[in-house]
Every structure is written in structure tokens, then in C-alpha cells.
Structure 1
Amino acid sequence: MEFFCGLDVGMDETAMCVVDDKGKVMVETAVVTDPEAIKLALKPYLGRLRRVGHEAGSLSPWLHPELLQGDRCGGP
């Protein structure tokens, strides 16, 4: 089973939704807008997480590279 995540990024809080490859919602939650907090919330899915999408906004130039560093969200 593969997982996919959508992030609705806000200044203070990021809403997250993880679905499986059949579209079943696995988790809907909100965390502090911080790469480590997002990573922690996604930890149960990281091994099979195939895509993470986030909106393009003012925080994207900061958040996107942070999520790609190290093992965050399955990045290089």
C-alpha cells in the first residue's frame, strides 16, 4: 500500500491529510508549521509515502527545501 499527503500550509498551522492508494483517508490533522512537526506527523507513513503536495505560497520557498533535506518526507 502506498500513501499520499496533502499539506495546507498556514503561517501558524499546517493542515495535513494522508490517503492510501485507494483514496481512503488515513489521517487528517493539523500541526505547527515546522518541518520537524510535519515529519513527526508523517513518520508512520514515511516508508511508503510516495507523494507530498503542498500549496504554492509565501512559505513554500522555505518549507519545500526543508522537507527535502535528509530523510524528511522520504527525500534524498
Structure 2
Amino acid sequence: MDFYAGLDVSLEATNICVVDGDGKVVRETKLATDPDAIELFLAEWGIQLKRVGLEAFSYSAWLFTALSDKGLPVICIETRHAKAALNAMLNKTDRNDARGIAQMMRTGWFRAV
């Protein structure tokens, strides 16, 4: 089965959500915005991720490069497109944004930048 991750990144913390191919949330957490901590969380479970998505913003290049160098299939998604999709959710929180980004990775409904 394929697995997809969504990262809602801020300066200090990153919310992470992992969903399976059917869209069921299988794992989520909130960690420090640190590539090593994020990689450890995603790798310690022993699953192979098909896509890991994060929204484009000022830290995106740094975090994208760091996670990509660690072998993760990272995709940086276009901000306006992501905002339109995430604003459709009723309860807008960082945790739900991570869930929404994970679902965007699963469905392929995103624009990479």
C-alpha cells in the first residue's frame, strides 16, 4: 500500500500527517521544525512514502533540500493552490492543514513548484 505525508511547517513546529492509499490517517504528530526529527518520525515506522508535501514559503527551500538529501520524496506545492484547497475545510488548524496536504499528496491534486 502507498503512504503519503503532509507537513504544515512553521518557524518553530511542524505538524505531520501520514495517510494510506485509501485516505485513512495512520499517523500524526507535532515536532520541532528540524529535518532530522522529521526524517526520524517518517522513517522509524518502516513504511515507504510515495510523496511528502509541504507548502511553499520562506523556509521551504531549506527544508525541501534537507529532506530531499535524506532520500525523502519531497514535493513543494504552490501556495495559492494549497490555500484554496485548505480553506474549504471547516475547522482550520495546523493539524488539519497537515491532513489536507497529505490528502492532496494522495489524490495528486496539487501544483509542484
Which TM-score tier does this pair reach, normalised by the shorter chain? 0.7 to 0.9
Match of 1:4 in 2: 4
Letter in 2 for 1:59: Y
Residue in 2 that maps onto 1:36: 36
How far apart, in 2, do the equivalents of 1:29 and 1:74 lie? 19
Q: Distance in 2 between matches of 1:53 and 1:74?
A: 9
- TM-score, structure 2 normalization: 0.60
The aligned length equals 73
TM-score by length of 1: 0.87
- 1:63 maps to 63
CA distance in 1, matches of 2:13, 2:53: 16
Q: Which residue of 1 aligns with 2:107?
A: none
Could you list the runs of 4 or more consecutive aligned residues of structure 1 that deviate by over 6 angstroms after TM superposition? none
Kindly indicate which of the two structures has a greater share of residues assigned to strand: 1
> Residue type matched to 1:19 in 2?
V
Provide structure 2 residue ranges, at least 5 long, that are not aligned to the other structure: 75-113
Identity level (%): 47
**What 5-or-longer segments of structure 1 have no aligned partner?**
none
Q: Which structure exhibits the higher relative contact order, with contacts defined as CA atoms closer than 8 Å and separated by 6 or more residues?
A: 2
Larger radius of gyration: 2
